[in-house]
């Protein structure tokens, strides 16, 4: 009898203490979060929202394709009504996706390294303007739409979409080049350090080290030429930054990446000579 009460009491104590510990952990973590909400947390939060919105858009887009196909085949008023409603909904969701995407891009650019400050400021301004335009456009999408309104919205969005896409790809290029530029700058500094370090050694491999060092220098110079080309291309105001031209730039970026990778491998080899 006593043993039974003891066991029941112990179990209750376990449950209560677990609850208290868990509660205190939750409370402390909430306080910690609220005390130190960093920009990175905000970014992660927006990123999650973006993923959700993109999923929602994809579902709506599939339904849009179905309703349009049905309208094409049936050509009834009911099918038209379905198509109008679904197009309107998909347009709204697309706008939300783009606003959140540009917000994320803005965040990345703001925190990006190795980017020319003037270009950064210019593109941050451009992204803000794009977000603002999309938000204004969102208001137009709020009231119920009919077929004529949908056509009007579609033609207005076509004008808006082109510069928006252009800015997005331009920022993507700036971010990609910026990251590679940062690695390049650090590699140049490190090469200097390794040069000083290996220069102190005087043995039969001294000449070999000097040749290796010269090779690395040349390799880095070649990489620098490609980086400068891409930076100049990005800075040019009339450069087209569509999906296609961005894919073209990828070759140059890949070349920079390969050059840096080789320079680092050479430096590693130089250390062992």
Residues contributing to the site for other proteins (CB under 8 A)? 1, 3-4, 7-8, 10-11, 14-15, 18, 22, 54, 57, 61, 64, 68, 71-72, 75, 80, 83-84, 87, 90-91, 94, 97-98, 101, 104-105, 108, 147, 150-151, 154, 157-158, 161, 165, 168-169, 172, 176, 179-180, 182-183, 186-187, 190, 193-194, 197, 243, 250, 253-254, 256-257, 260-261, 264, 267-268, 271
Nearest-angstrom CA–CA distance, 96 and 90: 10
Do residues 123 and 109 lie in contact, with contact meaning Cβ atoms separated by under 8 Å?
Answer: yes
Distance CA 56, CA 20 (A): 39
In the complex, least distance from residue 136 CB atom to other proteins, rounded to whole angstroms? 17
- Per the CB < 8 A criterion, the answer to whether 253 and 177 are in contact is yes
State the Rg of the chain over Cα.
29
**Among residues 11 and 208, whose Cβ is nearest to other proteins?**
11
Shorter beta-carbon distance to other proteins: residue 69 or 218: 69
DSSP 8-state code for residue 203: S
Least distance in angstroms from the C-beta of 58 to other proteins: 8
Give SS3 for 21: helix
Q: Which residues contact 33 (CB under 8 A, 6 or more apart)?
A: 41
Beta carbon of residue 64, minimum distance to other proteins (angstroms, whole number):
7
CA distance linking residue 90 with residue 56, whole number of Å: 9
150 or 235: CB nearest other proteins: 150
Q: Closest CB to other proteins among 32 and 154?
A: 154
- Measured from the CB atom, is 236 or 243 closer to other proteins? 243
* Residue from 127, 66, 68, 60 nearest 93 by CA: 60
- Closest approach, Cβ 193 to other proteins, in A, equals 6
| Closer residue to other proteins in complex, CB, 119/171 | 171
Min dist CB 251 to other proteins, Å, is: 9
Least separation in angstroms between CB 256 and other proteins: 8
Give the 3-state secondary structure percentages of the chain, helix then strand then coil, rounded to 5.
90, 0, 10
């Amino acid at each position: 009898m006593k043993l039974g009460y003891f066991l029941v009491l112990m179990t209750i104590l376990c449950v209560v203490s677990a609850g208290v510990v868990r509660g205190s952990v939750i409370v402390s973590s909430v306080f910690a979060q609220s005390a130190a909400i960093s920009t990175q947390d905000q970014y992660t939060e927006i990123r999650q929202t973006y993923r959700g919105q993109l999923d929602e858009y994809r579902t709506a887009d599939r339904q849009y394709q179905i309703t349009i196909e049905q309208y094409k085949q049936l050509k009834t008023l009911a099918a038209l009504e379905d198509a109008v409603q679904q197009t309107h909904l998909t347009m709204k969701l697309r706008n939300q996706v783009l606003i959140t995407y540009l917000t994320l891009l803005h965040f990345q650019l703001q925190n990006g390294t190795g980017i020319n400050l003037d270009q950064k400021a210019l593109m941050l301004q451009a992204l803000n303007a794009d977000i603002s335009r999309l938000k204004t456009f969102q208001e137009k999408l709020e009231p119920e739409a009919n077929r004529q309104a949908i056509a009007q919205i579609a033609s207005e969005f076509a004008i808006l979409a082109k510069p928006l896409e252009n800015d997005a790809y331009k920022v993507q290029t700036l971010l990609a080049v910026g990251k590679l530029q940062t690695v390049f700058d650090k590699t140049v500094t490190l090469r200097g350090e390794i040069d000083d370090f290996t220069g102190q050694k005087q043995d039969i491999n001294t000449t070999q080290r000097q040749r290796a060092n010269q090779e690395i220098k040349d390799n880095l110079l070649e990489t620098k030429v490609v980086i400068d080309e891409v930076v100049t291309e990005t800075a040019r105001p009339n450069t087209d930054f569509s999906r296609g031209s961005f894919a073209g730039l990828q070759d140059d970026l890949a070349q920079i990446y390969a050059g840096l990778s080789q320079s680092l491998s050479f430096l590693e080899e130089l250390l062992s000579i």
